[in-house]
Amino acid sequence: MTKKTAREELQEIATALQLSVEFPPEVLAETEAWLKAPHIDDPVLVDRTAMPFVTIDNAHSKDLDQAVFVDREGEGFVVAYAIADASFYVRPGSALFAEAMKRGASYYFPGFSVPMLPRPLSEGLVSLNADGDRRAIIFFHHLDAHGELTQTRLERARVRSRAKLSFNDVQRLIDAPAESPLKGRDFEASMFLLREVGRRRIELAARRGLIRYRREEVSIQLDGEGLAFAVMEVVRDEVELWNEQISLMCNAEGGRLLREFDNPAVQPIYRVQAGPDPERLTALSVLTGHVAKRHGLPESPWRWNQDTTPLSKYLEHLPRAAPGTKEDRLVAALTRQSVMVNLRSEYSTEPGKHVGVGAEPYARFSAPMREMVGVFLHKEAVEFLTGVHPTAEQDEVLRAEVVKVANRSRAMQRKVQDLSNEVVMNRLFTPELTKPRAERTRFTGTVMGLTSNKVHLRFDVPPLDVKLYLFDLAPFFKGAWLEPAEEGAILRAKGKDVPLLLLGQQLTVTLSKRDEKTRRWVFEPWL
C-alpha cells in the first residue's frame, strides 16, 4: 500500500469536514456569467483609476481583498482603503450567495485553501489584482497631523491596483529605498506616508492602553511536492503592523457609520469581545508575583500590580532579552498567560466593545471574499450609500443567519487548524519511534502554562505547542501525584512545596511513546 503524502492526509481532513474545493454547476454557471459581463464600466462607479492603489499582503496571497493609497491633506493625511466589491456579485437569492452561506468562510490548510467563492472570482474578477480595473468600495479616512480621525466617507468606485506587493517588498523599500525596485514608482510616496500614518495610529492605540502582545506567527507549509512540512517562526514586519492599523480603522469606522445611520433597513453585524473577567485578571496579577519569587527575580518589572499599572504597560516594560535566555522564555510565558485571560471574540447583531482592537463598535468589512459576514456588510454599506434596500424586509432574518454562519465558520477554522497540527506532529514524531531511546531527538522548549491536567510546552525548533499530560508525566517523577500550584506558577508533587517545574522554565524532552487510544504523544522530560 502506497504511503499517503502530507497533502493527501490534509485533503482527507477537508473531505471529512465536508469542505470541498469543488462548486455546484449552478454556482459555476453564475460565475461564468459574471466573467462575461463583469460590469466594471458601471456608470454608478466613481472613476478612481488614477489613484495609485497597491495591495500589500503575504507573498503567496491570491485573494486580494484590500488596496491602499495614502496622500497628504494639509497638515494631515487621507487614507483611501479600497475593498473588493464581492457583494455586487454575491447577491441574496443567487446560487453564489447560497453556497457562500453554506461554507461561511474560506478555510486554510498548510499548502492549500478551500475558498468560499470560486477562484475565478476570489482570485480573479473580484480580487484587486494588478491586471486591470476592478469594482470596489473605498473608505476615505481623513486624519489630522497626529493620526486622529476627523472624517470617514464611503464611495463606490472603479479602481486599478498598480502592484501586488508583499510586506517584505514594502519593508525593503522603507529600509533601503535606493536599492528597492519599487523606487520611482508612482506609489512610492504613498508607502512612506503609510509608515507615518501607521506609526501614529500605533502610538494612539498605546495611549488608549491597547495591549500589543509580542506575537510571532508560526507558518506551516508544504514543500513543492506536498510530501513534507516546513515549520518556521515568522516575525511580523513593521509594514504588516502599519497595514493592520489601516484595516482596524476601516472596520471600526464601518461599524460606526452603519450603527449611527438612522434607518432600520440597514442591518449591521458586529464583532465583539468582552473584557477579561476581573477574577482572571486578579489571578494573573498574583501569578506574576509567584513567578517572580520562584525565579528569584525582582518584583519590578516582573510582578504586575493591577491597581497601579495597566496590563499594556506591564507587558511593554518587560525586558527584551536574547532568544532562548531565561528572561526571554519567562517573558514569552507571561505574555501567553496574559493572552489567555481574554475571551474569544464573536459576531453579534448588537454592538459592543471589542477589547482586542480597542474599538466600539467594530465590524469586519475587510475580508469580503473570505468571510460571509463581509459579503453581508458590504451589501449593507451599499444600501447605506444608495438608500435603496431591495431586501430590507428579509434582512433581519438573513442577518441572524449570517451571524450563526460566521461564528460556526470560526469554530470550523479552529478545528481545521487543530487537525492539521495533528497531522504535522504525526509526521514529525513518528520517525522518532524507530530510533533507539538514547538516539531520539531532544526537543528543548519553554513551559508556557501549567493547568489542572497538563503542561503546555512550546518547542524552540520546530516552534510547535505540545501538551504534556500530568498522568503521562507522573511515572517520570517517581509516580508522584502532580498538581499545579500558586495560580499555575509551579508544578509540584501533591503535599510538597518543592517545585518540579516552573512557568517560563526551559525544559528538554524526548519522545517516549504514542498512545493510540487517546491519540497523543507522550514525552519524557530531561530534568
Report percent pLDDT > 70 for the chain: 95
Going through 194-319 in order, the beta strands assigned E by DSSP cover 216-222, 229-235, 270-272
Confidence tier at 3 by pLDDT (50, 70, 90):
confident
Q: What are 272-314's pLDDT values in tens digits?
A: 999 889 999 999 999 999 999 999 999 999 999 999 999 988 9
CA–CA gap between residue 334 and residue 315 (Å, rounded): 8
pLDDT score recorded for residue 394:
82
Report percent pLDDT > 90 for the chain: 81
pLDDT at residue 453 tops 80 = yes
Cα–Cα distances (Å) from 408 to 104, 105, 210, 404, in that order, read: 8, 9, 28, 6
In the predicted model, what is the mean pLDDT of residues 509-513? 96
pLDDT score recorded for residue 144:
98
pLDDT score recorded for residue 207:
85
pLDDT at residue 355 tops 70 = yes
CA–CA gap between residue 280 and residue 276 (Å, rounded): 7
Buried b (16+ CB within 10 A) or exposed e, 422-454: ebbbeebbeebeeeeeeebeebebbbbbbeeeb
pLDDT score recorded for residue 215:
58
Which comes out higher in pLDDT, residue 391 or 366? Answer: 366
pLDDT at residue 473 tops 60 = yes
Residue 318, burial from CB neighbour count under 10 angstroms (0-12, 13-18, 19+) = buried
pLDDT at residue 229 tops 90 = no
The CATH homologous superfamily to which domain 435-526 belongs is Nucleic acid-binding proteins (2.40.50.140)
pLDDT score recorded for residue 172:
96
In the predicted model, what is the mean pLDDT of residues 128-157? 97
pLDDT at residue 1 tops 60 = no
Pairing type for strands 107-109 and 76-84 reads: unpaired
3-state secondary structure of 179: helix
- Which residues share a beta bridge with 502? 490
Which comes out higher in pLDDT, residue 215 or 109? Answer: 109
Within the chain, all domains assigned CATH 2.40.50.140 are found at 435-526
pLDDT score recorded for residue 527:
78
Least trusted range by pLDDT, from 35-49, 120-134, 210-224, 414-428 = 210-224
pLDDT at residue 161 tops 60 = yes
Which comes out higher in pLDDT, residue 288 or 111? Answer: 288
Confidence tier at 353 by pLDDT (50, 70, 90):
very high
Confidence tier at 387 by pLDDT (50, 70, 90):
confident
Confidence tier at 216 by pLDDT (50, 70, 90):
low
3-state secondary structure of 226: coil
In the predicted model, what is the mean pLDDT of residues 490-508? 95
pLDDT at residue 10 tops 70 = yes
Q: Which of 190-204, 262-276, 352-366 has the highest average model confidence (pLDDT)?
A: 190-204
In the predicted model, what is the mean pLDDT of residues 99-113? 94
- Which residues share a beta bridge with 165? 56
pLDDT score recorded for residue 343:
87
